[in-house]
């Protein structure tokens, strides 16, 4: 459409120039034959410009000129309308999330929307994408379509879906259009969903299998002491299954609540409650929890149950992965419009390679140690979702063998908060 509009303006200019030249020549000749030929040419020119044909041959030169003027006005309106349509089409294509590229029948680029201009930058990954798109545009045969998935390893890693299709007017090929869509997030969600199903199956199958074996052994056992130990193991595995199910329900509930109930929640009270809940586990490992609440007390808008659950999970992890006799520092301070709650330990720490994945469901840095301490692999996922649902964020700073510090940042009530 854009190419048609651009071609129409020169045609009008040429037609007007031809008409003026013919008029000058006819007047210069001053002959009836010249005037008659001029009238015929003007009528033909008006017809070519799209005017309605005259019911009869014009007897006067003015009639022929009027015919051309009418045709010129009609053509000018068509050009203006086509130009407006082209602008609207460009604006619509620029608003699309997909990149759109159009080539003519000779393979020459005639249009790219803003998304395509952004996508096909100068970076290495985008250069590979541009090369693949050019290949598809060149190889798409008339009346056919092609589709390809591109994996760009970044950083960041991205997945692009490219589809090309030949375009025509029913009589001949006009070119090829390519539509490029970034499906990275969709692909990632599919992978997370598959991993989640596999992990849930694995996490539940292990204790369920252990329960079956323990129960079978217990049925055949006659020694009271051995039976007692087996019963304790059965109780432990059952408790582990219960923890997994409870955490799954909590995570599902948090994810489904797009916006948690908003009420003033005293940060000092939530911190004290979370510390009290983990106190028993800390005493068993002889880990000291140093609690330092914000002073003066401050509040956030949110869900008290969710916030307590998030802080409890951070404290529980810190206690589990601290050395016996260690110290966990649990502090809250005001930083501008936010309250920053930190949980720091001097325990095992997290390897750098694992830092980006620790908030994934069921992801464990040390599988053996996590299971021996009763971890479900869902605690940090719960923390991340609670932070997001409260317009906050969670960050981790850790060195292997030196300990970890998890920082939860939440907007304060009445200070730019939700």
Q: How far apart are the first and last CA of the chain?
A: 48
Token readout for 93 is 């294509």
Distance separating alpha carbons of residues 144 and 13, to the nearest angstrom: 39
Distance separating alpha carbons of residues 177 and 98, to the nearest angstrom: 12
Distance separating alpha carbons of residues 404 and 399, to the nearest angstrom: 7
Task: Encode 330-347: b = buried (16+ Cβ within 10 Å), e = exposed.
Answer: bbbeeeeebbbbbbbbbb
Token readout for 414 is 């009445």
> What is the CB neighbour count within 10 angstroms for residue 199?
16
Catalytic residue among 202, 235, 367, 395: 202
Chain centroid offset of residue 138 CA? 30
Distance separating alpha carbons of residues 131 and 154, to the nearest angstrom: 16
> What is the CB neighbour count within 10 angstroms for residue 13?
10
Q: What are the φ and ψ backbone dihedral angles of 56, each rounded to 5 degrees?
A: -150, 170
Q: Which residue has the tokens 């969903």?
A: 193
Contact 129, 116 (CB under 8 A): no
Listed as own residue / partner, the contacts of 64-68 with beta carbons closer than 8 Å and 24 or more positions apart are: 64/38, 64/39, 67/42, 67/43, 68/19, 68/42
Alpha helix positions (H), 321-373: 367-372
Q: In the annotation, is 202 catalytic? A: yes
DSSP annotation string for 255-299: HH-SS---EEEEHHHHHHHHHHHTHHHHHHTT-EEEEE--SS--E
> Looking at the annotation, which residues are catalytic?
202
């Amino acid at each position: 459409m854009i190419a048609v509009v651009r071609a129409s303006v020169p045609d009008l200019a040429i037609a007007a120039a031809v008409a003026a030249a013919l008029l000058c020549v006819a007047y210069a000749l001053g002959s009836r034959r010249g005037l008659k030929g001029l009238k015929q040419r003007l009528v033909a020119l008006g017809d070519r410009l799209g005017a309605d044909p005259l019911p009869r041959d014009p007897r006067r030169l003015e009639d022929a000129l009027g015919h051309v003027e009418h045709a010129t006005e009609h053509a000018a309106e068509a050009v203006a309308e086509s130009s407006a349509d082209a602008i609207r089409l460009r604006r619509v294509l620029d608003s699309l999330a997909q990149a759109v590229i159009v080539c003519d029948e000779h393979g020459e680029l005639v249009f790219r929307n803003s998304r395509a201009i952004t996508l096909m930058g100068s970076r290495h990954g985008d250069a590979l994408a541009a090369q693949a798109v050019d290949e598809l545009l060149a190889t798409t045969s008339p009346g056919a379509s092609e589709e390809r998935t591109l994996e760009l390893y970044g950083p960041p890693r991205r997945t692009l879906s490219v589809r090309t299709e030949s375009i025509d007017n029913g009589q001949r090929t006009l070119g090829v259009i390519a539509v490029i869509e970034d499906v990275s997030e969709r692909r990632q969600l599919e992978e997370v969903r598959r991993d989640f199903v596999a992990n849930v199956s694995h996490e539940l199958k292990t204790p369920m299998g252990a329960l079956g074996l323990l129960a079978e052994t217990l049925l055949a056992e006659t020694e009271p002491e051995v039976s007692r130990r087996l019963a304790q193991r059965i109780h432990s595995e059952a408790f582990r299954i219960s923890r997994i199910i409870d955490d799954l329900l909590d995570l599902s509930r948090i994810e489904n609540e797009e916006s948690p109930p908003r009420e003033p929640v005293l940060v000092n009270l939530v911190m004290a409650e979370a510390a009290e809940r983990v106190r028993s586990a800390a005493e068993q490992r002889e880990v000291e929890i140093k609690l330092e609440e914000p002073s003066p007390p401050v509040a956030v808008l949110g869900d008290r149950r969710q916030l307590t659950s998030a802080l409890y999970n951070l404290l529980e992890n810190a206690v589990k992965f601290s050395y016996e006799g260690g110290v966990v520092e649990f502090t809250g301070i005001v930083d501008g419009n936010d309250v920053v709650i930190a949980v720091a330990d001097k325990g095992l720490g997290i390897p750098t390679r694992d830092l980006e994945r620790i908030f994934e469901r069921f992801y464990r840095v040390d599988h053996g140690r996590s299971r021996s301490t009763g971890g479900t692999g869902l605690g940090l996922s719960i923390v991340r979702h609670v932070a997001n649902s409260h317009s906050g964020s969670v960050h981790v700073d850790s060195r292997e063998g030196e300990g970890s510090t998890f920082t939860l940042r939440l907007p304060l009530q009445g200070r730019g908060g939700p």
